Structures are given as structure tokens and as C-alpha cells.
Structure 1
Amino acid sequence: MPPETARQAITAASARLSASDTPRLDAELLMAHALGLTREAMLLCHLDAPAPAAFAALADRRARGEPVAYLTGRRAFWTIELAVGPGALIPRPDSETLIEAAVEHFGRQGPASIIDLGTGPGTLLLAALAEWPAATGLGVDASEAALGFARQNAHDLGMDGRARFQPGDWANGIDARFDLVLCNPPYVETDAALARDVVDHEPHSALFAGAEGLDDYRRITPMLGRLIAPGGLAAIEIGHLQALAVTALFTAQGLRCSVRQDLAGRDRCILVHG
């Protein structure tokens, strides 16, 4: 009997991964990883190659709920690709809304200085630095595991000299001002039902924020005004039902706010203007 091809193995695995929202895509990404190829290269030229032995174990682990990004160790975001793994929040496409808003605000000139609060694996900071090669930035996170990925990503992207990272409790102890403040805080309600691959594997400290999902916004709000340089911008991610509550917190501090939607038309970002 001829060996199973990549195409056949992907089809069989897709049927097993029916609990996922994207079973075929998951199987394709895992196969490309097992082959040591990009997904595009695999789809174009290698679907009839023999399926590597490593693929079956990867598919089994995905069927048990492990996130694809943790299995491959990589996740694309904006124009960059990031190393990710346990202890670091996996970048989501929704978070690109913050970078889009910053690009619209600053244009080609861009900000000179950037801070990313709760940087995780460096997601927002490194995406912004890739957009504006003359900018420098600081990433802050309470998790040393996440900061380890952030430093690795900065090195891999050739940004060691432009990005620095430090442990911290949001902006406590930081007295500088920045042209661009980025932040994707935890905002999930404690009792919210999440997908198994999220709740069983991603760090709860980066997801949950009290009964209303607002605890970290309440802590960040008093710090924002002193962080934003004149003419600058803060872009803060929110859950899609939180715009009114978070805007009320910010306006109570005298901050000027607007709401930006993601590509699906859901409220996703609060913009605070310096």
C-alpha cells in the first residue's frame, strides 16, 4: 500500500478536528509545520508528498484541545510572525484594530516612542515597530514567561536595539510620556464560557478581569493621562460589549475618547487622544 499523502492525512485529520471552528485550516497548518514548510508552499507543491510521521501526534494533541499556535510555536500578526507558547497570550486578529487606528492617526511619519502595556509576546509593540522603522519602544508585562517570548521575538525580528522589555505592574513606576500607548488588558468576565483550547491552555492572568471584566481598566485608567505625549494616542483593546463601561471610566478622568470597530463591525478599541 502506498504511503498516506499529506492531502489524505489533512482530510482525515479535518474530520477528527470537528470541535474546532476551523478544522481544515488547523490540519493544514499542522501539516505545513510537520513538513517544515509554509502553508502556502505546502498547498502549492507538496500535498502529494508522503505525510510525515510527526503529523499524527500533532493532530492528536490538537484533537485534545491544544492551540495550534502552541503546537507550531508560531503565530502571524499584522506584518510579522511571532514565537508563542505556554505562558503567553496568543495574538488575535481583532487586536490588529489597534495598529490600524495608530496608522490612521500617525500616518507614515509615525510615533517616535511607543509603550505596550501587557505586551505578552511583544505582539502590539513589535507590530508597531515593524510599521515605523525609526520608532523605539518599551514593552511591560507582569509575566516573565511572556517577556521571554517578547525578547526572543525582538531578536528574531532584528529589533533588539529598538525594543526593550521589563517586568511591571501596568505603568506603575513609569514617568515618561509616549507618542503611542498600546494596551490589550485582560477583559473577560470571570464566569464567561470560553473555548476549551483557550481556557485550558492560555494564561488566565491575561484573560480574566473580575466579574465584569473591568478590573484592569479601573487600574489602568488613572495612569493613562500622564503616559500620553501631547498630540499622542492611546489605543486600548476592549471586549465588544464594553465600550460604554470603559469609555465612562476614561471620561471620568477627563480623557477624550472615541470608539473604533474591528473588521466585523464590533466595538474593539477605545482611542484616547493626548
Structure 2
Amino acid sequence: MDTLALGPALAGAVRRLTDAGVASPRFDAEELAAFVLGVPRGRLLLASFDRAAAARFDELVAERARRVPLQHLTGLAGFRHLELAVGPGVFVPRPETELLAGWAVDHAPGAVVVDLCTGSGAIALAVANECPDATVYGVEREELALAWARRNAETRRAAGDRPVTLVHGDATSPDVLAELDGTVDVVVTNPPYVPDGSTVSPEVAEHDPAAALWGGPDGLDVVRRLLVRAAALLRPGGVLGIEHADVQGESLPALVRRHPAFTDVVDNSDLADRPRFTTARRRKLTT
């Protein structure tokens, strides 16, 4: 069978993706080559294409150049220690959200944890994977996203992780998980928070579901309602973590501080030192 050198194909793919405005052209080209060949990216130096693999690689590079997300092409998104199935209809989990998930993991041992707006299940499943004694729930309104979460939850259950309870419902509704009101130790959420009219990449604008993105004029419409639900779910002393856009490093913490149920409000930066998520503690309301 004819084999083709990988180097020239990769170089051409990098040029093509660079011209298309892809943010990480070499990484994406190598990930696609590794996906086609079924090998880890670190072993590409030892690999070569046959003609069928080269043709498949060229097709995937063309799709990526049209700004189809890399994760939609491979069907997988890495998140902390997990590989999650993703595709059309679900928000692709981002590396920066791993920090919020890590914060939740730190508070999760032996805890009851609720992930509101769970999407693919990324945060909930990461907590269950790293804290096997936690009791974890995920809430998602969108049926397509919930289907991906269920698929990922089944995969993790089969791998031996503690099951996550997934609930189909509006995370802001007082009826969702009402039986847990006042008993939850950790509420964590990566909600829709992009301000309406913001400029986003084609990967986001054309492929992430709108319901997972847009949060109203200031991006905080959903967050305002989630604060009410989180306050009801959390026990006194329980903790809340909310991801936000880097432009909301002052507005979101200020919103949480104005809510009478929360104290100890702190904003946290990501690895690029950009404001990324706010944490708070549920206070005991006085009458």
C-alpha cells in the first residue's frame, strides 16, 4: 500500500488553517492527523498516511478551515481528566472552565453538588470522577445538550465513576430539585453569560447553541435568576461558583454582593490572569 509522508501534509494544513483565521493552526492540524491515524499526537513523528487517510485528513482540514469546531470533527473534548463526547447541540467545554471545576472539586469531598446549566456534563462529571464520595446532580434545559450529557454520564459510569443524576429542567425554576432545597453544599454553574451583540468567533457563533451563550444586554440576565435558585438550594455555609466573561469581573461579583443570601464574595482569575469566575458563601438569613 502506498504511504505518504506526513510532514508535507501537516505543513499544508497549517498554512490552510492559518489563512482561514484558526487560532491554533498547528495544534489543530496535528490533532486532526492523530485522529485520522488513531494515534496519540505525540507519536505523529513515527506515522505516515496511506492514500485513504490522506484524503480523510484533507476533508477534515477543509471543514476546520470553514471554522467547524475541532471538537465537532473529532467528536471529543478534553476536560480535566476526562474525554467528553460533544457535537451539534451542546456547548463545547473550554479549558478555562477547568479552573471552576477544580474549585468545585476542592469543595466536593463528601458533599452534595449541583451543577446548574450542565451542558455536556463537564463540571458534574469531573467532580464525580475526582470525588467519588460526592453526590452530584446536573441540570440542563436543552434536550440536545442533555442527550450529550447522558451519553457522557453513561460512559463515565461504565468506567467506574459514581453515577451523576441528570435532571431535565430549567435551572432557574423553583421546581427543579426542590426536594434538595436548603441541603446542598456546592452549587456550580457555567451559565449563558455572553452580552447580547458581542463579537464571537465563527466556531462559537455558528456552532455553539445560542441558549448556552447569550445572557441579555449585560450578559447577566440568567445569572440573576440563578442566584435566586442557588440561594434556595444551598444550606447555610454552602458555597457557590459562577463562571463569567472577562468583561464581567466587576459586574458579576457586584451583583452577587447585592444579593442578601451571599457573603464572602471573591472573584477569581484564569491562567491568563483574566477575571473568570466568582465564588461566594451562603449566609444564614436573619428574620
Say which SS state the counterpart of residue 62 (structure 1) adopts.
helix
| C-alpha separation in 2, matches of 1:66 and 1:236 | 28
AA paired with 2:204?
Answer: V
* Alignment correspondent of 2:140: 141
Write the distance in 2 (CA, Å) between the matches of 1:246 and 1:139.
Answer: 23
Task: Give me the TM-score of the superposition, normalised by structure 1.
Answer: 0.92
Cα distance, 1:111–1:269 mapped onto 2, change above 3 Å: farther
* d(CA) in 1 for partners of 2:32, 2:275: 32
**One-letter identity of the residue aligned with 1:134:** D
**What is aligned with 1:214?**
220
Does 2:46 match 1:45?
yes
- Equivalent position SS for 2:91: coil
Q: Distance in 1 between matches of 2:107 and 2:137?
A: 20
Counting aligned pairs with the same residue, the percent is 37
Shift of 1:93: 0.8
Please tell me the residue identity of whatever aligns with 1:55.
F
SS at match of 1:17: helix
Is the 1:27–1:59 Cα contact (8 Å) retained in structure 2?
yes
Alignment root-mean-square deviation, CA = 1.8
What pairs up with 1:193-272 in 2 under 5 angstroms? 193-254=199-260, 255-256=262-263, 257-272=265-280
Q: Structure 1 residue 105: deviation in Å?
A: 4.3
Tell me what 1:97 maps to: 99
- Letter in structure 2 aligned against 1:135: A
Deviation, structure 1 residue 11: 1.2
- Is the Cα contact below 8 Å between 1:135 and 1:162 reproduced in 2? no
Task: Map 1:1-274; keep pairs closer than 5 Å.
Answer: 3-18=3-18, 19-40=21-42, 42-43=43-44, 45-46=46-47, 48-50=48-50, 52=53, 53-105=55-107, 110-158=109-157, 162-172=163-173, 173=175, 174-175=177-178, 176=180, 177-254=183-260, 255-256=262-263, 257-274=265-282
Deviations 1:230-270 (A, max 9, x none): 33221110111213222222222221111111111111111
The number of equivalent residue pairs is 268
SS of residue in 2 equivalent to 1:127: helix
Checking the alignment, whether the CA contact within 8 Å between 1:111 and 1:180 is kept in structure 2 is no
Question: Is the Cα contact below 8 Å between 2:68 and 2:203 reproduced in 1?
Answer: yes
Q: Which residue of 1 aligns with 2:285?
A: none
Q: Residues 105-151 of structure 1: CA distance to partner in whole angstroms, max 9, x if unpaired?
A: 45xxx142111111001011001111101112111111111111111
